[in-house]
Chain A
Amino acid sequence: MKSKHILLAHGSGGSMMHDLIKEVFLPAFDNPLLRQGNDLAVLDNPGGRLAFTTDSYVVHPLVFPGGSIGELAVHGTINDLAMGGARPLALSVGMILEEGLEIRLLEDIVGRMKLAADNAGVPIATGDTKVVERGSCDGMFINTSGIGVVDESLRIGGAEARDGDVVILSGTIGDHGVAVMSERKGIRFTTPVKSDTQALHRLVAHMLEVTTDIHVLRDPTRGGVATTLNEIAMQSGHGIEIEEDLLPIPPAVTGACDLLGLDPLYLANEGKLIAIMPARYADDMIAAMRSLPEGKDSCRIGRVVTELPGVVRMKTGIGGTRIINVLSGEMLPRIC
Chain B
Amino acid sequence: MSVLSAFRDSSRARVILEQIRRRDTGPVCIMEFCGGHTVAIFRSGLRSVMPEHVRMLSGPGCPVCVTSNADLDRAVALAKTPGVILATYGDMLRVPGSQESLMQVKARGFDVEVVYSTLDALSLAEARPDREIVFFGIGFETTAPAAAAAVLQARTRGLRNFSLCSVMKLTIPGAKALLGAGDVHVDAVIGPGHVASIIGSDAWRFLPEDYGIPVAISGFETLDLLMATDALLRMIEEKSPDLVNAYSRIVRPEGNRKAWGMVEQVFDTRDTSWRGFGVLPDSGLALRESFSEFDADIRFNISIEESAEHPACRCGEVLRGVVTPLDCNVFGTSCTPESPLGPCMVSSEGSCAAYYHYQRVSTAVHPGD
Contacts and interface: CB of A to CB of B under 8 A. Distances in A.
Interface of A: 244-245, 251, 254-255, 258, 308, 311, 313-323, 325, 328-329
B5 interface: yes
B46 A317 contact: no
Contacts of B337: 328-329
A313 B5 contact: no
B358 A322 contact: yes
Contact of B48 (A251, A321, A325, A329): A321
B338 A319 contact: no
A315 B338 CA distance: 26
Nearest 4 A/B pairs, CB to CB: A320-B45, A317-B10, A316-B45, A320-B48
**Chain B interface main SS type:** helix
A321 B46 contact: no
A319 B363 contact: no
Contacts of A321: 45, 48, 363-365
A320 B5 contact: no
Contacts, number: 76
B48, B359, B363, most chain A CB atoms within 10 A: B363
Nearest to A313: B363
Given A258-B4, A315-B369, A325-B356, 14 more contacts: A244-B10, A245-B10, A314-B45, A316-B44, A316-B45, A318-B13, A318-B46, A319-B365, A320-B46, A321-B365, A322-B45, A322-B48, A323-B363, A328-B337
Interface in B145-182: none
Nearest to B223: A318
Contact of B360 (A255, A320, A323, A329): A323
B14 interface: yes
B270 interface: no
25 contacts: A245-B10, A251-B5, A254-B5, A255-B4, A308-B363, A311-B360, A311-B361, A316-B222, A317-B13, A317-B44, A317-B222, A318-B17, A318-B44, A318-B46, A318-B222, A319-B45, A320-B44, A320-B45, A320-B49, A320-B365, A321-B363, A322-B42, A322-B43, A322-B359, A325-B360
Interface string B42-65: 111111110000000000000000
B8 interface: yes
Interface string B102-125: 000000000000000000000000
A320 B47 contact: yes
B217 to A, nearest CB: 21
A19 B292 CA distance: 67
Contacts of A328: 337-338, 357
A318 B226 contact: yes
A251 B43 CA distance: 19
